Amino acid sequence: MRDDVRVALGVEYDGSQFCGWQTQPQGCAVQDALERALAQVAGGPVDTVCAGRTDAGVHAVDQVVHFDTAAVRPETAWVRGVNALLPPACAVNWSRRVADDFHARYSAVARCYRYLLLNDPVRPAADRQRVGWFHLPLDLERMQSAARLLVGEHDFSAFRSAECQARNPVRTLMRLDVARRGNYVVFDFRANAFLHHMVRNIVGCLVYVGKGKYPPEWLGEVLAGRDRKRAAPTFGAAGLYLSRAVYEAHWGLPQTTRSTLMGMLS
């Protein structure tokens, strides 16, 4: 009989201050900072598992993490206690004890990402690490037409990075919405899982369509071709947010997003 318990956390972070989620030898990752703080509260080493690994510069407002511990602590200790030990760019929003068979990665039924793109002639300054930027006018309807071609179950090889380690490039993209809010274009993605750089590569292609370089039908041709070289360059990480990890209700996890960026993440 196991003596430890499984705890789930909701975590947000400013990805510009870290070298990505996954632990690194130099200790610069979100996982490194979180595990150091958890270890101090738990009184021993803690290994964490997350819903979705994020790259350097990519943010999260609802990353879900689980870990096992023999330490008996109130839920507040895993929130306020850990936050007192974390750097300012990372915070735990909530804590829940969960069943032993809960898994932050494998129990998730979907992941949601949001990309915020400032579409303005003048580059961002105060928000330069929190939004992407494109200076020429973008045609929203063209991008929406192109986006619809990607929804469904497809081989997304054309949108995966050369470093992608996924064994299977087939993913189910349940949602890809493109909307304009003032001088921002907001891209919302929901899928069962994502390939490495998949969201940023799709955004780059949609920008190509929006600026008139290619017609909307071109994106369907890129998808069918399964050739990364035919797609647009990878768009910058600054505007990308892991906005939600989705789980079935019986796990009892909060599904709230606390952070906002000029109303764009609400």
Q: Of 157, 163, 256, 169, nearest to 202 (Cα)?
A: 157
**Secondary-structure breakdown of the chain: helix, strand, coil percentages, each rounded to the nearest 5:** 25, 30, 45
Q: Are the C-beta atoms of residues 150 and 131 closer than 8 Å to each other?
A: no
SS3 78: helix
**Residue 55: active-site member:** yes
Hey, what are 117's tokens? 């793109």
| DSSP one-letter code for 211 | T
57 vs 46: CA distance, rounded Å: 24
Beta bridge partners of 189: 113, 176
Place of tokens 């292609």: 205
Catalytically annotated residue among 14, 55, 120, 155: 55
Hey, what are 252's tokens? 């009892």
Instruction: Show which residues are catalytic.
Output: 55
